[in-house]
């Protein structure tokens, strides 16, 4: 019996030691995330997308439903509630995000639905059609276009596989990965009666989010923020 008691104590000590180790690791990871989200700008002085994502969460809160098609990461949006974060499904590809956001709004009209897309994925979402449907069925969704003026997945993958290749020596970057000149994405929603805002500087973001939320929640119309990011 004494041996059994000692075994239980030893097991409890092992569990407590593991708990402390994991808590320390978690704290370190969250500290790194906080550092990333505290930096307003990235390369070229453009808005840091991690910082922008955290500002979105600060403005929209944990009661919102977030639809992620590239720019959002759970580490930057500290959501804790079920059915509050939807990422790319296994069966999905580029272009599912806006349709998913509209479907969620249709199913839960009382919820604030926030869709985050890249500029490339916004193209694939057929935004003119998505915003038309949003207006036709009274589905006011807040859409945030994180616009870095390039196909980042293509660019970064090419450089990862061929860091010393031909593309790495080009000033304009990987061929066919650039999306310049960038369209005025905020204008798409205006064609369907929504609010479009272009955000170029960090100091503009909080005010733009407030205007976008007012449009969605009070005026009951869609809003698009075209956020120029690094």
52 and 19 housed in the same domain: no
pLDDT reading at 89 higher than 80: no
51 and 123 housed in the same domain: yes
Structure tokens at 44: 């070229």
**How far is 101 from 143, CA to CA, in rounded Å?**
9
pLDDT, mean over the chain:
90
29 and 44 housed in the same domain: no
8 and 56 housed in the same domain: no
| CATH code, domain carrying 65 | 3.40.50.970
7 and 65 housed in the same domain: no
User: Which of 9-23, 88-102, 192-206 is the most confident on average?
Assistant: 192-206
pLDDT reading at 42 higher than 80: yes
Burial classification of residue 174, based on how many CB atoms lie within 10 Å of its CB (0-12 exposed, 13-18 middle, 19 or more buried): buried
Q: At what angle do helices 2-38 and 49-60 cross, to 10 degrees?
A: 100
Residue-level pLDDT at 32:
77
31 and 53 housed in the same domain: no
**How far is 140 from 223, CA to CA, in rounded Å?**
7
Across the strands, what pairs with 147?
228
22 and 76 housed in the same domain: no
Percentage of residues in the chain having pLDDT higher than 70: 94
143 and 214 housed in the same domain: yes
150 and 105 housed in the same domain: yes
Q: Are 99 and 125 in contact (CB under 8 A)?
A: yes
Structure tokens at 148: 């870095």
Full-model pTM: 0.84
Domain of residue 27: give its range.
1-38
Q: Say if residue 181 is preceded by a cis peptide, omega within 30 of 0.
A: yes
**How far is 125 from 131, CA to CA, in rounded Å?**
10
Residue bearing tokens 């949003």: 134
Taking only the tens place, the pLDDT of each residue in 44-78 is 899 999 999 999 999 999 999 999 998 888 888 88
149 and 49 housed in the same domain: yes
Structure tokens at 87: 């990422």
Compute CA distances 61 → 65, 79, 86, 119, 181, whole Å.
9, 9, 15, 24, 34
Taking only the tens place, the pLDDT of each residue in 124-148 is 999 999 999 999 999 999 999 999 9
Give how many domains the chain has, as a whole number.
Answer: 2
Residue-level pLDDT at 131:
98
137 and 215 housed in the same domain: yes
16 and 88 housed in the same domain: no
């Amino acid at each position: 019996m004494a041996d059994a008691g000692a075994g239980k104590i030893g097991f409890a000590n092992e569990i407590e030691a593991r708990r402390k180790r994991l808590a320390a690791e978690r704290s370190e990871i969250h500290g790194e995330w906080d550092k990333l989200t505290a930096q307003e700008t990235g390369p070229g002085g453009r808005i840091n997308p991690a910082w922008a994502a955290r500002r979105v969460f600060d403005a929209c809160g944990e009661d919102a439903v977030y639809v992620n098609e590239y720019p959002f990461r759970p580490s930057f949006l500290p959501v804790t509630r079920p059915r509050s974060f939807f990422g790319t499904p296994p069966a999905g590809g580029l272009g599912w995000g806006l349709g998913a956001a509209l479907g969620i709004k249709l199913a839960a009209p009382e919820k604030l639905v926030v869709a985050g897309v890249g500029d490339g994925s916004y193209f694939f979402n057929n935004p003119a059609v998505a915003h038309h449907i949003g207006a036709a069925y009274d589905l006011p969704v807040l859409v945030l276009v994180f616009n870095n003026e390039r196909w980042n997945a293509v660019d970064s993958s090419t450089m990862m596989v061929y860091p010393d290749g031909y593309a790495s020596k080009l000033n304009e970057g990987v061929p066919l990965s650039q999306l310049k000149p960038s369209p005025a994405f905020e204008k798409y929603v205006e064609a369907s009666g929504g609010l479009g805002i272009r955000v170029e500087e960090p100091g503009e973001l909080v005010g733009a989010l407030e205007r976008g939320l007012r449009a969605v929640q009070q005026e009951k119309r869609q809003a698009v923020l075209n956020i120029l990011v690094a």
